[in-house]
Structure 1
Amino acid sequence: MGVSVKTLKICLLLMCCWINQALASNGVILQYHHVADDTPPVTSVSAEQLRSHLQYLQDEGFDVLPLPDMIKALAENQPLPDKAVAITFDDGYRDILQNGHPILREFAFPYTIFVNPAQIGVQSDQLSWDDIALMGQQGVTFANHTQDHIHLLQRLPGEDTQQWLARIRNNILSAEQQLADKVGYSLRYLAYPYGEYDENLQALLREENFVGFAQFSGAISSASDFTALARFPAAGIYANLQTLRVKLNSLAMPVLTNSLSSPVALESQFPSPQLTIDLADIRPHQFRCYINGDVVDTQWQENQVTVLSGDLALNPGRSRINCTAPSKRRPTRYYWFSQPLFKPDQNGRWRD
């Protein structure tokens, strides 16, 4: 017995409604550090570059939302504006106030700074608590970046897993309390220093009801893992507006499963993760994956794709596998997936 035309129309309508809802449940978070010309280039934008980014957001009709508004909407599976963006800074540098804050106020764009309470007012390049109070009165929100920007994955000599996690938990919770005492609220957000984390730290954040923010590329959605939300770095080599605009218009890749349970990699070569993808708005033949900027092969079996990393060497430090695919319905917008990988050096140290 064949399927009626009416039934097909209903199915197509339901699929279109589902896709529209998925497209409306996406946001992009930008990540900055310094706003200066004399700071490390890899983590810096000039005031002119920041202005060009903000001007693009304004000219192209992006909705720049307070980070808490975006996270709350996605956590509650509520729709966001079509092009929703949140702006974040890590590390609490004073040049954010000196060079970035006036420009952001000019555009009336809200933003969040992740700070290390133990360094506030102590290091000369850091904001003071008075600075933070002033900026808070002008709409800036502040969140946790640990007390002192340590490598969270680094264990002390002789430290077992239980002792390590207890130390990290104390660091995060004490920083949260100190920050709450100063600003009068607690978002329970944590930006991982250096973007590094593993499944143990994700479980810790889940237990403590924290939202985690990472440093790998990608949009976020209601289906994202809220213990490791993607943010697009927008400084250094990533400050180029021509490439940044593609990222600003990106969508969260609808990954249903991922064979990699941890981003920590100890092997000498890149892994070959297997992903299950919801293909309602994606054509497999347009799906591309990249390592170090080069396209790598993929292998499909129904809606499962294996990233064939081959024999590419995985060096100590931080690496990524990025995959993108254009939307069927909105081909100028790309779904984006990023798999971060963290590898210690031969001495078990994590690199800055």
Structure 2
Amino acid sequence: MLDNLVILQYHHVSTKTPASTSIAPEKFAEHLAYLYRHYTVVDLFDAIKALRAGNSLPDKAVAITFDDGFDNILLNAHPLLQKYNFPYTIFINPQRIDKDRNQLTWDEVKQMAQENVRFANHTLDHLHLLNREYHNGEKESDAQWLTRIMYNIDQAETLIETQLGYSLQFLAYPYGEFDTFLAQHLEQQGYIGFAQHSGAVFSGSNFSALPRFPAAGRYANINTLKVKLNSLAMPVLDTNIHSPVVSEEGFPSTLKLTVAAADLNMNAMNCFFQGHLQDKKTIENLVEVSLPESFPLGRSRMNCTAPSKTQKGRFYWFSQPFFKANENQVFPD
């Protein structure tokens, strides 16, 4: 038993959808066969409940998730998942269900809900949560923004509960975007947040923005996925990054992480920004990593890994996401 969970994120299972968010059915079948042989696939809701209660999970526990509620999940993924009796969770936009051509219908959702599938919140309509709206040329205030965003999220939760009879209060952030203020407010309202930066989860994780490993598109390669499936949640005690939203002034020039280092080989820790190895220095259980002078627009991340001292071949993994708006303060797709 172990205090560790890896969450996989998929979108499309098809060869006819955008390559960046798709995995071919044959490749998806390869993933599932590997999981069946080497891992324990667990229900996301049960796993999160166990971790929050301080209970251990089976070693090499993995949860499977999908974002957006596409109909090819039912057509191409669901039969494969049923073959292994794997539970999984789909984060849906209720306003799109039964309306958009490539989406599931509510009848299909209700049928799948009887077949080892849970459904959770991905907002009503997949909006950029961090974007501000303008009314009569005036930018909405922070209070107006939060009211609008929370209404959207709560309405989506209500629609799911009305259709399915339950409310998980799980929210997958569209585009993986969030800021600390929103995440903390959602946590106060009883929600658990799921993002799109990578890494494993443990009982000490930030449950307002849990990491998930993308496993489609350029991340579908089974050999690189094996390393991620074998990862351990890095026990970060403190960080100097208080919000993932990159500001023009006053944003830190380094990432500082304080970790519980008993089982980490600190000297072998490496950190990569957008895949590029970064300069770092370590002092006991503190690592300091250089951040870029200029961040790219949109979404980026710093991934840090360190080998375990006691579990051969396994790496602790931490990911810090960053979100940068364009000159008009709009976060791009």
TM-score, structure 1 normalization:
0.91
Q: Which one of the candidate residues 95, 103, 120 is aligned to 1:118?
A: 95
Question: Partner of 1:209 in structure 2?
Answer: 190
**2:73 counterpart residue number:** 96
CA contact (8 A) 2:241 2:252 kept: no
Q: Percent identity?
A: 51
- CA shift, 1:275, in A, is 0.7
Paired with 1:322 and 1:270, the residues of 2 have a C-alpha distance of: 17
Deviation readout 1:39-93 (Å, 9 max, x if unpaired): 0000000101110000111111x11001111100101010000010000000000
Q: Residue 277 of structure 1: which of 255, 259, 271 is its match?
A: 259
Structure 2 counterpart of 1:219, from 200, 203, 208 = 200
How do residues 71-82 of structure 1 correspond to structure 2 at under 5 angstroms? 71-82=48-59
Q: Give unpaired runs (5+ residues) of structure 2.
A: none
Question: Separation in 1 of the partners of 2:279 and 2:124?
Answer: 42
| Amino acid in structure 2 at the alignment position of 1:345 | N
- Aligned pairs for 1:143-182 within 5 A: 143-157=120-134, 158-182=139-163
Query: 2:40 matched to which residue of 1?
Result: 63
Contact conserved, 1:144 with 1:189, CA < 8 A, in 2? Answer: yes
Q: Which residue of 2 aligns with 1:305?
A: 287
Counterpart in 1 of 2:105? Answer: 128
User: What per-residue deviation string (whole Å, max 9, x for no partner) do you get for residues 142-181 of structure 1?
Assistant: 0000000000000101200000000111111111011001
Equivalent runs, 1:1-352 vs 2, <5 Å: 24-60=2-38, 62-157=39-134, 158-267=139-248, 271-309=253-291, 311=293, 313-352=294-333
Task: Report the alpha carbon displacement of residue 270 of structure 1 after superposing the two structures with TM.
Answer: 8.2
More helix by share: 1
Amino acid at match of 2:239: N
Letter of the 2:34 counterpart:
Y
Task: Measure the CA separation in 2 of the matches of 1:271 and 1:43.
Answer: 32
| Mapped contact 1:169–1:204 kept (Cα < 8 A) | no
| Root-mean-square deviation (Å) | 1.3
C-alpha contact 2:305 2:318 (8 A) present in aligned 1: yes
Please report how far the alpha carbon of residue 310 of structure 1 lies from its aligned counterpart in structure 2 after TM superposition.
Answer: 5.2
Residue 200 of structure 1 and its aligned partner are, at CA, apart by: 1.4
Any stretches of 5+ residues in structure 1 without a counterpart?
1-22
Comparing 301-310 and 222-231, the one that deviates more: 301-310
Given that 2:85 and 2:116 are in contact with CA atoms closer than 8 Å, whether structure 1 keeps it comes out as no
Rounded to whole Å, the distance in 2 between the matches of 1:150 and 1:111 is 24
* 2-structure distance, mates of 1:310, 1:142: 38
Whether contact under 8 Å (2:171, 2:192) holds in the other structure is yes
SS at match of 2:329: coil
In 2, Cα distance between the equivalents of 1:58 and 1:308? 40
Task: Tell me if structure 1 keeps the 8 A contact 2:267–2:282.
Answer: no
Letter in 2 for 1:340: P
Alpha-carbon distance in structure 1 between the residues aligned to 2:245 and 2:93: 24
Q: Based on CA coordinates, which of the two structures has the bigger radius of gyration?
A: 1
